[in-house]
């Protein structure tokens, strides 16, 4: 038999199999359409159709295809039901463990079991068919489940990773652990990369059914151990735009270095007021300044914000670039700014001794911390002193005698600010605002980008003072434009999910605390009371973090639905237009209103664009947060590598089925694996969130002190392994 004859017979056999499959599908469709058909499980269906066990896998494949086509769905009991299944679109979120989740525009995430992902990648936009609704099983709540039926748009176009050379080809091992496959690189597409180099590879084929994706190297970042390559890899992996086009740079430089006096006309001249900026020592983009004075028993507080919108006009090259970036990104050794330095560190920075254009919120605040009068105006200001948080805190505490002497003419102003700050904060506390006072990580690097020190970065009186004034200005601006019913961008924070609050309540009962929960609602004051009760206790950090994790994520919206965490009915972001696009956007709206230009045509214009602006701003904010966390984790792993074999005492900060996490005083967190807990078998108790020994009943619980040894670090996986030290 010749080759052509064999190929023909193989084609005929394949056609025959395909015909049989289609016939079986038609038979199944007819069965489902029959009025006598009742919901049944897979085993019942196979029995009804008299399918032998050896062929039941084929039946499962056919039923999956019918579900993808929307002709059948699974009910809460796992039975096949005829009719259209729920079809949703959302973002695919891989886990690196086979299963995944899809986040739709509305509603909770959808669980996607292993084998139901249809080759989707992390961040892809996908279509999902719901196969099971949320419910209860075995006494536990279950999520909605689904299967991916279509990849609508790829979210990742290129990957960053380590190049590995084979004899005739190469592979890129992705840094992003949520990508399960190495990327195959043909010899002609390696661009001369060698083993151990960090590279960027463009994806040319996403692979399927176990076949590796394929790509071509477009950029070589350097060797994995070269200084700065680690953070550069994160920048590329998150597709953070780090370079400005020549057009954008030229537009920024055209703004000049000094404000033009011809632009002062029509503005309120506030250069006679004593004005200060208070920022971190290293800050270069100073976008807010403060003035304060008294009027009888009231305070006159001015919050002056750089008028960035004067230089970044709508639809300009600068504006398009700022919208694309959405926000500045702050990594440990660099800032990726939303706007070029010529603007952010130059004409838009409220530098000491220089005239600057501002948009000011001028507030009269009574002795209770309530704004009784306010005015929003275009202004001209001149900063008298550029202050740091450290200096102002030293003045307020009386600990920095040199600063008290150097700034003696400003000391009464700082004391007045502290007095007003206390009243504002007390007022916010009364209404139930939640104040999470977590120590952030302060990571110090040397010239080669290596970690020198990691320590908690605590908020002080000066940082809280500025926070209070900025929050007050944000609320004042949001409330005014809400009541004017103008198109606007609000910062909203939704009420927490009742089920998550119930779980939190069950957990804190272990420590003797409780929350008063209504059927479908909780007031922020309840959480505030909880945080007040735990203040100074060993479990404070633990319960505070779990409370924070139980809340929803804040986002930008065009509807003013309030901010749960701040217990505020009206809230927006007004105070940072240098580094956040929503602030820049609402500055334009405010200024058009002040000039009487916000008429029907412009109102319709903003109504048509603001939904997209909110969506883009929320997306880029999440991207920035993820990149910043990723770099922080990476640098913590790098730092702890030098302490392999050394012991530390920390607190259990998280418990899972595979072990528990221990957080050290310097904010570094590592995992103690359940497998390393010798002498017993440990099971995870979800109610108490503890690991409990089956034989010894020894318990490892949240908040418990632990002495651990640093056993291993993995910079690529961003993990630190601890082992318990037996005392």
Residue 209, pLDDT > 80, answer no
Taking the C-alpha atoms of residue 571 and residue 561, their distance in angstroms, rounded to an integer, is: 9
Higher pLDDT pick, 319 / 656 = 319
Q: What is the mean pLDDT of residues 70-81?
A: 70
Q: Residue 213: name the closest of 253, 172, 254, 248 by CA.
A: 172
pTM of this structure = 0.83
For domain 158-226, give its CATH number from 1.10.275.10, 1.10.3720.10, 3.40.50.150, 2.40.50.700: 2.40.50.700
Residue 512, pLDDT > 70, answer yes
Taking the C-alpha atoms of residue 249 and residue 257, their distance in angstroms, rounded to an integer, is: 14
Q: Residue 237: name the closest of 245, 229, 227 by CA.
A: 229
The reported pLDDT for the residue numbered 566 is: 93
Taking the C-alpha atoms of residue 69 and residue 695, their distance in angstroms, rounded to an integer, is: 51
Report the chain's C-alpha Rg in angstroms. Answer: 30
**What number of residues does the chain have?**
727
Higher pLDDT pick, 727 / 391 = 391
Structure tokens that stand for 25 in this block: 């599908």
Residue 17, pLDDT > 80, answer no
Looking up tokens 């359409």 gives: 33
Higher pLDDT pick, 507 / 481 = 481
Backbone angles phi, psi at 336, to 5 degrees: -100, 100
Q: What is the mean pLDDT of residues 150-176?
A: 91
| Contact (Cβ atoms closer than 8 angstroms) between residue 502 and residue 514 | no
Helix runs in 49-202, H state only: 56-68
Residue 85, pLDDT > 60, answer no
Cβ neighbours for 286, distance < 8 A, ≥ 6 positions apart:
277, 279, 306, 349, 350, 351, 383, 386
The reported pLDDT for the residue numbered 41 is: 84
Residue 13, pLDDT > 80, answer no
Residue 691, pLDDT > 70, answer yes
pLDDT one-digit tens code per residue, 550-601: 899 999 999 999 999 999 999 999 999 999 999 999 999 999 999 999 999 9
| Contact (Cβ atoms closer than 8 angstroms) between residue 382 and residue 273 | no
Beta-carbon-side half-sphere exposure of residue 570 (alpha carbons within 13 Å): 16
| Contact (Cβ atoms closer than 8 angstroms) between residue 371 and residue 365 | yes
The reported pLDDT for the residue numbered 369 is: 95
Residue 84, pLDDT > 70, answer no
CATH, range 19-85: 1.10.10.10
The reported pLDDT for the residue numbered 31 is: 81
Q: Residue 433: name the closest of 425, 421, 444, 443 by CA.
A: 425
pLDDT one-digit tens code per residue, 515-524: 888 766 788 8
The SS3 of residue 150 is strand
Shared fold status for 158-226 and 644-724? yes
Higher pLDDT pick, 7 / 266 = 266
Cβ neighbours for 573, distance < 8 A, ≥ 6 positions apart:
474, 489, 491, 556, 580, 582, 583, 586
Strand order across the beta sheet in which 682-685 lies: 682-685, 690-693, 699-701
Higher pLDDT pick, 610 / 86 = 610
Residue 138, pLDDT > 80, answer no
Structure tokens that stand for 189 in this block: 């597409």
Q: What is the mean pLDDT of residues 444-472?
A: 89
In sequence order, what are the beta bridge partners of 447? none
Q: Residue 240: name the closest of 633, 716, 635, 619 by CA.
A: 619
In order of 510, 511, 656, 694, the CA distances from 701 in angstroms are 10, 11, 10, 15
Helix (H) or strand (E) holding 9: helix 3-33
The reported pLDDT for the residue numbered 1 is: 55
The reported pLDDT for the residue numbered 38 is: 78
Fold of the domain spanning 644-724: OB fold (Dihydrolipoamide Acetyltransferase, E2P) (2.40.50)
Taking the C-alpha atoms of residue 88 and residue 333, their distance in angstroms, rounded to an integer, is: 41
The reported pLDDT for the residue numbered 393 is: 95
Residue 75, pLDDT > 60, answer yes
pLDDT one-digit tens code per residue, 332-376: 888 999 999 999 999 999 999 999 999 999 999 999 999 999 999
Query: What percentage of the chain reaches a pLDDT higher than 70?
Result: 94
pLDDT one-digit tens code per residue, 231-277: 999 999 999 998 999 999 999 999 998 999 999 999 999 999 999 99
| Contact (Cβ atoms closer than 8 angstroms) between residue 131 and residue 146 | yes
Q: Angle 389-397/411-431 helices, nearest 10 degrees? A: 90
Q: Where are the domains of the chain?
A: 19-85, 158-226, 246-494+552-632, 644-724
Confidence of residue 70 (pLDDT cuts 50, 70, 90): low
Backbone angles phi, psi at 214, to 5 degrees: -120, 155
Residue 202, pLDDT > 60, answer yes
pLDDT one-digit tens code per residue, 522-532: 888 899 999 88
Across the chain, mean pLDDT equals: 89
pLDDT one-digit tens code per residue, 289-343: 999 999 999 999 999 999 999 999 999 999 999 999 999 999 988 899 999 999 9
The reported pLDDT for the residue numbered 6 is: 56
The reported pLDDT for the residue numbered 104 is: 87
- DSSP 8-state symbol, 227: T
Q: What is the mean pLDDT of residues 121-143?
A: 76
Residue 169, pLDDT > 60, answer yes
The SS3 of residue 387 is strand
Q: What is the mean pLDDT of residues 477-505?
A: 92
Backbone angles phi, psi at 71, to 5 degrees: -95, -10
The reported pLDDT for the residue numbered 645 is: 95
């Amino acid at each position: 038999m010749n080759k052509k004859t064999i190929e023909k017979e193989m084609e005929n056999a394949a056609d025959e199999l395909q015909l049989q499959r289609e016939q079986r599908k038609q038979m199944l469709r007819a069965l489902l359409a029959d009025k006598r058909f009742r919901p049944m499980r897979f085993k019942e269906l196979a029995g009804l159709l008299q399918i032998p066990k050896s062929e039941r896998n084929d039946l499962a494949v056919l039923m999956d295809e019918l579900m993808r086509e929307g002709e059948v769905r699974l009910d809460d009991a796992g039975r096949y039901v005829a009719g259209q299944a729920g079809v949703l679109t959302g973002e695919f979120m891989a886990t690196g463990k086979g299963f995944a989740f899809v986040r739709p525009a509305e509603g909770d995430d959808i669980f996607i079991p292993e084998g139901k992902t249809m080759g989707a990648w992390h961040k892809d936009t996908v279509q999902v068919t719901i196969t099971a609704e949320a419910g209860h099983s075995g006494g536990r709540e279950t999520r909605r489940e689904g299967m991916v039926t279509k990849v609508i748009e790829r979210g990742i176009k290129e990957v960053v990773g380590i190049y590995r050379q084979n004899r005739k080809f190469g592979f890129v091992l992705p840094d992003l652990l949520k990508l399960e496959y190495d990327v195959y690189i043909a010899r002609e597409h390696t661009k001369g990369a060698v083993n151990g180099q960090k590279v960027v590879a463009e994806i040319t084929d996403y692979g399927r059914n176990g076949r590796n994706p394929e790509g071509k190297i477009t950029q070589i970042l350097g060797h994995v151990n070269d200084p700065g390559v680690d953070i550069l890899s994160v920048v590329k992996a998150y597709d953070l735009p780090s370079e400005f086009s020549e057009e954008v740079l030229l537009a920024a430089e055209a703004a000049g270095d000094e404000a033009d006096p011809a632009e002062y006309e029509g503005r309120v001249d506030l250069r006679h007021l004593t004005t200060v900026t208070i920022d971190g020592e290293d800050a270069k983009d100073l976008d807010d300044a403060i003035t304060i004075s008294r009027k009888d028993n009231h305070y006159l507080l001015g919050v002056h914000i750089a008028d960035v919108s004067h230089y970044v006009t709508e639809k300009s090259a600068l504006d398009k670039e700022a919208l694309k970036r959405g926000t500045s990104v702050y990594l440990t050794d660099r800032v990726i700014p939303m706007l070029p330095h010529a603007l952010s560190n130059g004409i838009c920075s409220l530098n000491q001794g220089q005239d600057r254009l501002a948009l000011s919120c001028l507030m009269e605040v009574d002795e209770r911390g309530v704004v009784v009068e306010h005015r929003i105006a275009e202004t001209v200001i001149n900063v008298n002193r550029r202050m740091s948080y450290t200096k102002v805190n030293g003045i307020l505490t009386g600990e920095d005698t040199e600063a008290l002497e150097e700034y003696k003419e400003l000391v009464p102003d700082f004391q007045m600010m502290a007095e007003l700050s206390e009243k504002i904060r007390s007022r916010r506390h009364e209404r139930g605002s939640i104040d999470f006072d977590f120590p952030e990580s302060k990571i110090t690097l040397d010239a080669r980008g290596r970690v020198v020190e990691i320590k908690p970065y605590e908020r002080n009186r000066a940082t809280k003072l500025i926070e209070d004034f900025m929050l007050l200005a944000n609320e004042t601006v949001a409330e005014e434009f809400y009541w004017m019913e103008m198109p606007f961008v609000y910062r909203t924070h939704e009420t927490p999910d009742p089920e998550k609050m119930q779980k939190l309540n069950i957990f804190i009962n272990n420590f003797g605390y409780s929350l008063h929960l209504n059927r479908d609602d909780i007031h922020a004051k309840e959480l505030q009371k909880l945080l007040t009760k735990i203040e100074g206790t060993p479990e404070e950090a633990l319960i505070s973090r779990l409370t924070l994790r139980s809340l929803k994520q804040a986002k930008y919206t065009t509807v003013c639905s309030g901010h749960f965490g701040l217990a505020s009915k009206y809230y927006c972001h007004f105070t940072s237009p240098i580094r956040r696009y929503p602030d820049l956007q609402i500055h334009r709206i405010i200024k058009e209103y002040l000039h009487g230009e916000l008429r029907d045509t412009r109102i319709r214009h903003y109504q048509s664009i603001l939904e997209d602006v909110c969506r883009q701003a929320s997306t880029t904010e999440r991207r920035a947060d993820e990149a910043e966390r990723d770099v922080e984790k990476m640098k913590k792993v790098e730092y702890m590598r030098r302490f392999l074999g050394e012991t530390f005492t920390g607190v259990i900060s998280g418990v899972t089925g595979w072990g528990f996490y221990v957080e050290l005083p310097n904010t570094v967190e590592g995992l103690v694996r359940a497998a390393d807990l010798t002498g017993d078998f440990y099971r995870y108790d979800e109610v108490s969130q503890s690991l409990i020994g089956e034989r010894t009943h020894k318990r490892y619980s949240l908040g418990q002190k632990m002495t651990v040894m640093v056993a291993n670090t993995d910079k690529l996986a961003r993990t630190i392994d601890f082992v318990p030290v037996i005392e």
